[in-house]
């Protein structure tokens, strides 16, 4: 079966998307449902993204006005190209970047391309549900004091799970040291568009902010915005690097989708967000009644560096339930109820919601979770589920006595992370260009990686090129693989081998 045929077949079925893109496979805003009819190139009267003077320039100005930025750039290569451009424009070659360790892999790729030294600031541990907490302003200041050569600071807020850091305080501190603050707000393109969602980093003083329109708003996949909010990062350099990291043949279908999304928000955002609010909180109220499957509440705000929280990220935790894990819960939701989650973690699943969600879709989720929870209370299939969990944890000698923890523990915030941080021996750019040899994953402890290892989604590295491989890391990787979680980054797609620095012994 061809891909187009499979997609058409899937569209006819009743699977409901609790994942991006935010339009939830509904035609919202755009009137044309045939993309071929509007798929053009830079012909007369339709401007040029890389030298926008007319209709595209006006479209970017409308997006800029909606968000209240100084200048806004369209990005048709997703937030990835926007992050690469922001990192490149804010730093010099071989310079130093202070970045949150839970940044997306694109930020690490930007550090590689610019040959940067990376200094990390780590999120706090949210121990109740095993999430990544927020970035503390004082931790940012500590690193700025310790490394005066830092040229720019980059954090992710909100995280994949909806955790928002105190961006205003962080921006104030960063500016006191004369540096620009870049915020990857990819998952917060809807921020500030209603009173009940968190405030955007643009309103908090960040200098460059990146939004993925397609993640939480009705726009096509791969559409993003880069906002410049001050003079601390050169607009001309941003423009230069956007031209480098984006295709020279930008999709007019994508750009039309972005302008349509902005137009829809200009006209109808009050009604759209009010309907979304009612349906979302009704769903959350129902989900909070579950006994075994815990809805992560908004009350996590105010601890573990969590300054604010996006309620549109529905996190269903089974960390305190012995008979089921995140993978099994996601499997049941998909196979029995035809509900596709955005992300599966070891102890929870994430349902991503947006203004594109219907009342019926959210009600389906609540009914399904409560029915699963009732079955857990009644002991239905608990033996089979328990065996599934046990088999996931039985990973041989390499993971003997390993404990369950969040899938991003190594790159973020489990209780013991401070003792288990990987030691950086080389810069990313150095390690990726050294001679390599392949080693069996279980035999690689003590070696220096020349590859990334990350779980996808969300694409946050567990291991970065140039870092020494630890036994704790290997234990976690094997445990994640046994549970069927998606390990990526290794050139060996079977995840049996890892490329390490050949010259090191």
In sequence order, which residues have a C-beta less than 8 Å from that of residue 224 and are 6 or more positions away?
Answer: 75, 76, 77, 78, 79, 81, 82, 186, 210, 211, 212, 213, 214
pTM, full prediction: 0.91
Q: Are 188 and 310 in contact (CB under 8 A)?
A: yes
CATH architecture, domain 266-380: Alpha-Beta Complex (3.90)
Return the residue matching tokens 């290794």.
490
CB 92 within 8 A of CB 146: no
Query: What does residue 227 show for φ and ψ, rounded to 5 degrees?
Result: -105, 130
pLDDT at residue number 467: 95
What pLDDT is stored for residue 34 in this prediction? Answer: 87
- How buried is residue 404: exposed, middle or buried, by Cβ count under 10 Å (0-12/13-18/19+)? middle
Q: What is the pLDDT of residue 7?
A: 95
Q: Is the model more confident about 405 or about 385?
A: 385
- Is residue 386 classed exposed, middle or buried when 0-12, 13-18 and 19+ CB atoms within 10 A define those classes? middle
Q: What is the pLDDT of residue 408?
A: 37
DSSP string, 162-200: -EE--HHHHHHHHHHTT--EEEE-GGGTTTTSSTTSPPP
- CATH class of segment(s) 397-501: alpha beta
pLDDT in tens, 33-66: 889 999 999 999 999 999 999 999 999 999 999 9
Domain ranges of the chain: 35-262, 266-380, 397-501
Sign, Cα dihedral of 102, 104, 107, 112: positive
Cβ pair 196, 115 in contact under 8 A: no
- CATH classification number, 35-262, choose in 3.40.50.620, 3.40.640.10, 3.30.390.10, 3.40.50.20: 3.40.640.10
Length of the chain in residues, anyone?
Answer: 505
As given in the structure block, the two tokens for residue 133 are 């907490």
pLDDT confidence of 418, banded at 50, 70, 90?
Answer: very low
Of the listed ranges 191-205, 284-298, 414-428, the least confidently predicted one is 414-428
3-state class of 422 per DSSP? coil
- Res 254 pLDDT > 50: yes
**pLDDT tens digit string along 287-310?**
999 999 999 999 999 999 999 999
pLDDT at 32: 76
In 443-460, which positions are buried (b, 16+ CB within 10 angstroms) versus exposed (e)? ebbebbbbbbbbbebbbb
Element (H, E) at 131: strand 131-132
The string of pLDDT tens digits covering residues 310-360 is: 999 999 999 989 889 999 999 999 999 999 999 998 899 999 999 999 999
Residue 414: pLDDT band with limits 50, 70, 90: very low
């Amino acid at each position: 079966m061809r891909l187009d045929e499979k997609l058409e077949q899937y569209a006819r079925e009743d699977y409901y998307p609790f994942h991006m893109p935010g339009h939830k496979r509904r035609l919202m805003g755009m009137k044309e449902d045939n993309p071929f009819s509007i798929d053009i190139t830079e012909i007369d009267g339709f401007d040029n993204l890389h030298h926008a003077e007319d209709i595209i320039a006006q479209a970017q100005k409308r997006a800029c006005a909606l968000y209240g930025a100084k200048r806004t750039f369209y990005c048709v290569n997703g937030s990835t190209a926007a992050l690469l451009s922001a990192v490149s424009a804010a730093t010099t070659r071989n310079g130093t970047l202070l970045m949150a360790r839970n940044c997306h892999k694109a930020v690490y790729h930007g550090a590689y391309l610019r040959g940067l030294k990376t200094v990390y600031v780590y999120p706090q541990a949210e121990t109740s549900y095993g999430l990544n907490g927020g970035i503390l302003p004082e931790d940012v200041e500590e690193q700025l004091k310790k490394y005066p050569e830092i040229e720019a600071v980059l954090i992710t807020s909100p995280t994949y799970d909806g955790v928002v850091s105190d961006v205003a305080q962080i921006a104030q501190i960063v500016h006191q040291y004369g540096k620009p603050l870049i915020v990857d707000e990819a998952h917060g393109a809807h921020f500030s568009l209603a009173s009940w969602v968190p405030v955007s980093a643009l309103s908090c003083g960040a200098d460059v902010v990146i939004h993925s329109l397609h993640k939480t708003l009705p726009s096509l996949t791969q559409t993003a915005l880069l906002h410049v909010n001050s003079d601390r990062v050169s607009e001309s350099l941003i423009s230069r690097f956007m031209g480098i990291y984006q295709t020279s043949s930008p999709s007019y279908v994508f750009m039309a989708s972005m302008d349509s999304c902005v137009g829809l928000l200009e006209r109808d955002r009050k009604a759209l967000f009010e309907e979304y609010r009612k349906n979302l909180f009704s769903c959350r109220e129902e989900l909070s009644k579950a006994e075994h499957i815990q809805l992560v509440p908004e009350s996590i705000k105010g601890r573990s560096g969590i300054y604010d929280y996006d309620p549109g990220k529905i996190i269903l935790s089974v960390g305190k339930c012995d008979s089921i894990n995140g993978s099994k819960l996601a499997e049941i939701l998909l196979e029995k109820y035809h509900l596709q989650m955005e992300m599966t973690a070891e102890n929870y699943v994430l349902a991503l919601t947006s203004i594109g969600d219907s009342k019926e879709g959210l009600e389906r989720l609540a009914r399904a979770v409560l029915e699963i929870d009732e079955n857990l209370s009644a002991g239905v299939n608990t033996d089979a589920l328990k065996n599934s969990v046990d088999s996931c944890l039985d990973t041989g000698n390499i993971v003997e006595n390993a404990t369950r923890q969040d899938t991003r523990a190594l790159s973020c915030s489990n209780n013991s992370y401070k003792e288990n941080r990987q030691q950086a021996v080389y810069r990313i750019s150095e390690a990726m260009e050294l001679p390599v040899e392949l080693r069996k994953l279980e035999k690689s402890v003590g070696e220096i990686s020349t590859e990334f290892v990350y779980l996808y989604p969300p694409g946050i590295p567990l291991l970065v090129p140039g870092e020494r491989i630890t036994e704790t890391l290997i234990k976690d990787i094997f445990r994640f693989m046994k549970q069927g979680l998606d390990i990526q980054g290794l050139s060996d797609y079977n995840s049996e081998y890892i490329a390490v620095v050949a010259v090191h012994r």
